[in-house]
A and B are shown apart, each in its own frame.
Chain A
Amino acid sequence: MVGNVSDAPAPAETSSVVRLQEHIIEIVSDSGEGAQKAGQAYGAISAKMGNGVWTVEIIPAEIKPPARSRAGASGIRVRVGAREITNMGDEADLVLALNEQVLYGRIEQGAYKPGTVVLLESKWAHDGLAEVREAYAKAVAEFRALGLDVRELPLEQACLEVTPDPRVGKNMFVLGMLCRLCNRDMQRARDEVSFMFKRKGDEVVARNVALVEAGYEFAKHNLDMEFEIPPAPRDHQVVVMNGNQAAGLGIMASGMEMVAMYPITPATSVSHYLAGAFQKVGGCVHQAEDEIAAVGFAIGASYAGKTACTITSGPGLALKTEFLALAVMAEVPLVVVLVQRGGPSTGLPTKVEQGDLLAVLYGQPGDAPKIVLAASTIEECFHMMVTARKLAEAFRTPVIVLTDANLATGVQPFRRPEVHAEWMAAPLDQSPWDPEITAYDWNETTGLSPRPIPGQRGGQYVLTGLAHTRFAKVAYDPHANQTGCDMRSRKLAALASTLKPPQVNGEPEGELLVVGWGSTRGAIEEAVDRVRADGHQVSSLHLRFLSPMEPGLAEIFARFEKVMTIEINYSDAADAPLVGTSGQRRLAQLATLLRAQTLVDIDSWSNVFGQPLQPGPIHDEIVRRLQHGGDACSA
């Protein structure tokens, strides 16, 4: 292996191709160097070749963090496999870094392992500033001491042969290198780059294609490695997008015509996407003056018969609380997309957490039952929007769809949806209303009632957030409030009665059942599969309905010796100071709910590092639990 080619060009054309089942690359750089664009192109090329792909962005908190700063790492990870890839995986195999400082943060986050190949821009070794040269030399030594296989490469110098300004082209050069190293189809790469720069004209396209080709040649002549990741068999068309784009498309597919929002990370990009696309299906994005107005505006449109959607994240949810309760109380259909981030308060705006579950369920004063779903894949971010709109109207209630920062920015290919006209909302019903039917003509069993829409002659009623009767009149007797609460609660029971028990991943009985929800599904199932391959009787269960819950959970749990949840939210470590002896251990959120629901002694493992869960640590924790008899342990 060649350790350093910056000074000694190595003839490396004779490398043999190594066949892999999967491979993880990262491109890390300062913000603005185009690492994400290159990674997305690499992911798209791989998806087109038939590989499974999961792409996740590495995003600094600031828009323009200082150059060469540890916290300023911006980039992308792309996991490519010979089968479907459902999560970001564990440590990266290959890293392309445009400076050495940005690697520190990634190393701290455990993104790399001994043997990870780091292809590092070497120009810093010759920088005009002595402190830069020293920092670079020190870092390279430290990385090597950690076991990283650092290869120093004069990337910028090589780019200069093709372009006068390598600052705006190095990313495409890097893409070309990856295409060579990972045996990507160069024609697809040229097509992808042409597509990306189409709008900027032929000259820009030609220059970027030349950069990709130069990168390819550079890797061919300077690096003695080449991988091949065979494609996964696929007999259907796929689409490639992130979870926020999928949610936006799902909103369009649901026939909703109004999205009211206020900018908040990491939810905003749904509206960025819709701002360009929504008009094509006759829809409109309203950027409201604040989070409260956004949900109020959506409720207004819904009340008027055009079921609308609002999109937010944790702090926005907190502000929307009162209106959400009004929608529950007055039975207004509404879809809320909640892209969770780290909390509480402003928390970790760009990072992942599943910390809003209990807030969504119980965040309103009084009893406010509502439907809560959680998407576990990018594909579900699409389809759940269609489901949510239908449920909201059928059950005359808000439906909250939980996603998170991991799904929002993760990119994955999935089966192209076959759009059905029935997905779309029916045209506005303006037929006369039967005056014999009251505004809340509750079915005593299901709590369901038909809803008059303004414009329907004879259906006039006054919606109110005050306790009200089935005539929508302000209630002055105590029974009316009890009845109203009963009816709204019964709607959840009615929905639950239509659901099927969830499918267990693995055998239906065993030593341990791992229960999860939301974006952790891919990582949990991959970890459980590995533990099973080790010979343990472990299965997993993933919940899509969190309110109401799918039926049969207690029966499923009873067939396992132990049940635990794995989540990305806070829980006390069992051995934390005072926790173990006080009887006050606070469990993760789903575990808390499931214990109340099923009376099963369910444990949890969770953390709030703000990172997507990876299969490796989950695997290790499961094994540890099995070995230690399942005692609750720290995250």
Chain B
Amino acid sequence: MFGLKSDPSTELPERYFSLEDYEGGVARWCPGCGDLGVLTAVQRICRAEQLPPEKVVCVSGIGCSSRFPHYVGTYGFHGLHGRPLPVACGIKSRRPDLTVWVATGDGDCCSIGAGHWIHALRYNMDMVVMLFDNSVYGLTKKQTSPTTPQGMSTNTHPSGAWLPPLDPLTAMLGMTNVSFLAQTVDWNPAHLHATLAAAYRHKGLGFVRILQRCPTYSAGVFEDLQRDPSRLLMLTGPRGIQVEPAIANMFPNKREHDPSDLGTARAICEAHDPVPIGLLFQDESRPCYDAFTNHGLGMPTADKVAALEKELDRFTV
């Protein structure tokens, strides 16, 4: 009417979601726990993307960080220790319409769930996996985790962890069909947010390792990195994680990195010092298992019955 192609007011979304819509129960993590920042980042991304809360599922295993779904106002699946990834993949297998966030810890993902970790990366189903790596078992009270630094005293290795820690980044850069790998730190909310948002936008499995402080059991592990930002290597570049210049300026040590360059990504990770943050590797052309598992979705019942009758013909004598 009035010569207008459409009434702009009708384009207003039917529902607008605020942060409150993504809030669940009151978080019961320790004061100062790095998980709180991650929770906020995910809630903000959901709001920025205006994801209907009922279309989001947070999946987790067992451990401190795996309480994550309880604090989000979406659907959630707080399952078994080490096993969030098979569940998350199962959800996506027949529900491509759902957004899946996986919260897993260093014990959950890299120890008891290591088998699923390798294969979920290869399946490359469309989801975000957040590895909350605080280098220690928290919920069971300070046991050595696969990423505990050598020499750190724990209740299972009071004289210090015997072996050098497993490096999840170099491990994952060696895994077939990895399509998105980034690292960030919980104490820089802007970089954390930008990294998780990039993982969300990625088509395929976006894996983000978050160096996450545990004030109770591994308080000192990331202290050096916090005190001296030059110990971190910020990866920059047009295809990398984009942050405001004011944020970028907090990291004196920078390096331009092309995330399609797997060899350089490996070299950066293998150096261990400085610790890289940003997007290490991305390749959206890698096959996604969803494309296979989603086959036949929505086939009408009548067609199924007809196909089944035809199949029974094959066995009829």
Q: Show the binding face of A for B, using Cβ within 8 Å.
A: 44, 47-48, 237-241, 245, 249, 252-253, 255, 257-258, 260, 277, 279-284, 286, 288-290, 292-306, 308, 322-323, 326, 413, 416-417, 419-421, 424, 427, 452, 454-466, 473-474
Q: Which of B142-176 contact A (CB under 8 A)?
A: none
- Complex alpha-carbon distance, A38 and B47, angstroms: 65
CB of B24 to closest CB in A, whole Å: 7
Cβ proximity bits B74-92 to A, threshold 8 Å, 1 near / 0 not: 1111111001011111111
B78 touches A463 (CB 8 A): yes
A296 touches B83 (CB 8 A): yes
Known contacts A304-B57, A454-B54, A460-B74; 18 further A-B pairs (Cβ under 8 A): A239-B316, A258-B94, A281-B304, A284-B93, A284-B296, A286-B90, A293-B86, A295-B86, A297-B89, A298-B90, A300-B86, A305-B95, A416-B316, A419-B305, A424-B304, A424-B305, A454-B98, A460-B73
List residues of chain A with CB within 8 A of the CB of B303. Answer: 281-282
List residues of chain B with CB within 8 A of the CB of A277. Answer: 311
Cβ proximity bits B297-317 to A, threshold 8 Å, 1 near / 0 not: 111011111011111100111
List residues of chain A with CB within 8 A of the CB of B2. Answer: none
B80 touches A296 (CB 8 A): yes
List residues of chain B with CB within 8 A of the CB of A283. Answer: 296
Residue among A48, A258, A289, A474 making CB contact with B116, cutoff 8 Å: A289
List residues of chain A with CB within 8 A of the CB of B73. Answer: 460
Cβ proximity bits B43-55 to A, threshold 8 Å, 1 near / 0 not: 0000000001111
CB of A189 to closest CB in B, whole Å: 13
- Are A260 and B119 CB-contacts (below 8 A) given A241-B315, A462-B77? no
Question: Cβ of B115 < 8 Å from any Cβ of A?
Answer: yes
Question: Cβ of B25 < 8 Å from any Cβ of A?
Answer: yes
- Complex alpha-carbon distance, A87 and B217, angstroms: 63
User: For residue B116, which residue of chain A has the nearest CB?
Assistant: A293
B54 touches A455 (CB 8 A): yes
Ordered by A's residue number, 21 sampled pairs between the chains whose C-beta atoms are within 8 Å are A47-B317, A239-B315, A255-B301, A280-B310, A282-B303, A284-B294, A289-B116, A292-B86, A295-B86, A296-B116, A297-B89, A299-B90, A308-B90, A416-B316, A419-B305, A420-B305, A454-B57, A454-B98, A463-B78, A464-B76, A473-B25
- Complex alpha-carbon distance, A497 and B200, angstroms: 49
CB of A412 to closest CB in B, whole Å: 11
- Are A252 and B308 CB-contacts (below 8 A) given A237-B316, A281-B299, A454-B57? yes
Question: Cβ of B295 < 8 Å from any Cβ of A?
Answer: yes
List residues of chain B with CB within 8 A of the CB of A452. Answer: 75
Question: Cβ of B259 < 8 Å from any Cβ of A?
Answer: no
List residues of chain A with CB within 8 A of the CB of B297. Answer: 257, 282
- Are A297 and B93 CB-contacts (below 8 A) given A454-B98, A462-B77? yes
List residues of chain B with CB within 8 A of the CB of A474. Answer: 70
A239 touches B95 (CB 8 A): no
List residues of chain A with CB within 8 A of the CB of B24. Answer: 462
Question: Cβ of B16 < 8 Å from any Cβ of A?
Answer: no
From A252, A255, A297, name the one whose CB has the most chain B CB atoms within 10 angstroms.
A297
Question: Cβ of B69 < 8 Å from any Cβ of A?
Answer: yes
- Are A290 and B115 CB-contacts (below 8 A) given A416-B312, A463-B77? yes
- Are A255 and B89 CB-contacts (below 8 A) given A240-B315, A293-B116, A455-B54? no
- Complex alpha-carbon distance, A298 and B298, angstroms: 18
Residue among B70, B79, B118, B298 making CB contact with A326, cutoff 8 Å: B79
A299 touches B70 (CB 8 A): no
- Complex alpha-carbon distance, A422 and B286, angstroms: 40
Residue among A239, A280, A304, A416 making CB contact with B90, cutoff 8 Å: A304
User: For residue A422, which residue of chain B has the nearest CB?
Assistant: B301
Residue among A255, A293, A413 making CB contact with B317, cutoff 8 Å: A413
List residues of chain A with CB within 8 A of the CB of B116. Answer: 289, 292-293, 296
- Complex alpha-carbon distance, A497 and B118, angstroms: 47
Q: Show the binding face of B for A, using Cβ within 8 Å.
A: 24-25, 52-55, 57-59, 69-70, 73-80, 83, 85-95, 97-98, 115-116, 118-119, 292-299, 301-305, 307-312, 315-317
B90 touches A301 (CB 8 A): yes
- Complex alpha-carbon distance, A260 and B91, angstroms: 12
A322 touches B80 (CB 8 A): yes
B309 touches A245 (CB 8 A): no
- Are A258 and B315 CB-contacts (below 8 A) given A421-B301, A456-B54, A459-B54? no
B86 touches A306 (CB 8 A): no
- Complex alpha-carbon distance, A602 and B305, angstroms: 45
B292 touches A461 (CB 8 A): no
User: For residue B311, which residue of chain A has the nearest CB?
Assistant: A277
- Complex alpha-carbon distance, A304 and B294, angstroms: 13
A455 touches B95 (CB 8 A): yes
B315 touches A301 (CB 8 A): no
Please provide the 4 A-B residue pairs with the shortest distance between their CB atoms, ordered closest to farther. A300-B90, A282-B296, A296-B86, A462-B76
A281 touches B308 (CB 8 A): yes
CB of A219 to closest CB in B, whole Å: 24
List residues of chain B with CB within 8 A of the CB of A255. Answer: 301, 304
From B85, B310, B317, name the one whose CB has the most chain A CB atoms within 10 angstroms.
B317
B315 touches A300 (CB 8 A): no
- Complex alpha-carbon distance, A347 and B70, angstroms: 43
List residues of chain B with CB within 8 A of the CB of A284. Answer: 93-94, 292-296
List residues of chain B with CB within 8 A of the CB of A47. Answer: 317
B53 touches A303 (CB 8 A): no
Residue among A293, A459, A463 making CB contact with B119, cutoff 8 Å: A293
CB of B89 to closest CB in A, whole Å: 6
From A292, A293, A306, name the one whose CB has the most chain B CB atoms within 10 angstroms.
A293
- Are A292 and B299 CB-contacts (below 8 A) given A245-B315, A300-B89, A458-B54? no
List residues of chain B with CB within 8 A of the CB of A288. Answer: 86, 119
List residues of chain A with CB within 8 A of the CB of B304. Answer: 252, 255, 281-282, 424
List residues of chain B with CB within 8 A of the CB of A304. Answer: 57, 90-91, 94-95, 98
CB of B290 to closest CB in A, whole Å: 11
From A241, A282, A322, A427, name the one whose CB has the most chain B CB atoms within 10 angstroms.
A282
- Complex alpha-carbon distance, A419 and B150, angstroms: 63
List residues of chain A with CB within 8 A of the CB of B79. Answer: 296, 299, 326, 463, 465
List residues of chain B with CB within 8 A of the CB of A417. Answer: 312
CB of A327 to closest CB in B, whole Å: 10
User: For residue A50, which residue of chain B has the nearest CB?
Assistant: B317
CB of B311 to closest CB in A, whole Å: 6
User: For residue B24, which residue of chain A has the nearest CB?
Assistant: A462
B53 touches A460 (CB 8 A): yes
List residues of chain B with CB within 8 A of the CB of A252. Answer: 304, 308, 311
- Complex alpha-carbon distance, A459 and B53, angstroms: 10
